Amino acid sequence: MEVYRLFDTMNPKKLDIEIANHESQLETAMQAVEGFLGECGIQQDVAFRVILAVEELVTNSMKYGYDDDNPHTISISVCIQDTVPEEIVLLVQDDGHPFDPQDAPTPDLESAPEDRQIGGLGLHLVKQMSQGLEYERMEPYNRVRVTFRT
């Protein structure tokens, strides 16, 4: 499936992408988001956090959201709100199993790094490196909304 990039002519500071639930699509989605944030003049450190959230949330959907081999679509939307300071809203939607990222267990952050079980850090990074994460299930979709301030 191709990556679809949809422009909202009413709001040039909005990007919508649809990708197939296949890991080969992830890089293209990340590049599209990075390019869009660059075009909008978003500082690199903020763009870094948004791209990280795209990677972690989409990877999670692809890895754990589906147990069939059917094609599915994951939608990614990035909107830069005209507030002071600017707020960036990332929305990731999939039609996978219901999963609220808020319910993900907190990873082990106390043991020495070299002694830890590896894993579970992705959602922790997204929560800690954003201003807020909200989830809703609108059958048959999971919708995760993450906000960032510039």
Partner 1 sequence: MSLQVSMKERRPTYFEIGLTGRLDTNTYLQLDRTLEMVFENVVRGLQLNLENLEYISSMGLRMVLKAMKLAKASNAPFMVVNMQPQIEAVFKVANALPSQSVFSSVAEADNYFDNIQAKAKGE
Indicate whether 149 belongs to the interface with partner 1 (CB under 8 A).
Answer: no
Q: How far is the CB of 103 from partner 1 (least distance, A)?
A: 17
Q: Pick between residue 68 and residue 115 the one whose CB is nearest to partner 1.
A: 115
Q: What are the backbone dihedrals phi and psi of residue 29, each rounded to the nearest 5 degrees, phi first?
A: -65, -45
Decide: is 128 part of the binding site for partner 1 (CB under 8 A): yes
Q: Does 8 bind partner 1 (CB under 8 A)?
A: no
Q: Which is nearer to partner 1, 16 or 34 (CB)?
A: 34
Return d(Cα 96, Cα 78) in angstroms, integer.
20
Which residues are CB-contacts of 66 (< 8 A; sequence separation ≥ 6)? 21, 72, 96, 97
User: Which token pair is 75?
Assistant: 């939608």
Q: Would you call 124 exposed, middle or buried from its count of C-beta atoms within 10 A (0-12, 13-18, 19+)?
A: middle
94 binds partner 1 (CB under 8 A): no
Stretch that binds partner 1, among 55-63, 67-75, 87-95, 131-139 (CB under 8 A): 55-63
Which one of 15, 33, 36, 55 is in contact with partner 1 (CB under 8 A)? 55
Contact 32, 55 (CB under 8 A): no
Complex with partner 1: residue 73 or 128, whichever CB lies closer: 128
**How far is the C-alpha of 61 from the C-alpha of 37, rounded, in Å?**
23
- What is the CA 58 to chain-centroid distance, rounded? 6
Question: Contact positions toward partner 1, by CB under 8 A?
Answer: 23, 26-27, 30-31, 34, 44-45, 48, 51-52, 55-56, 59, 107, 109-110, 112-116, 118-119, 121-122, 124-125, 128-129
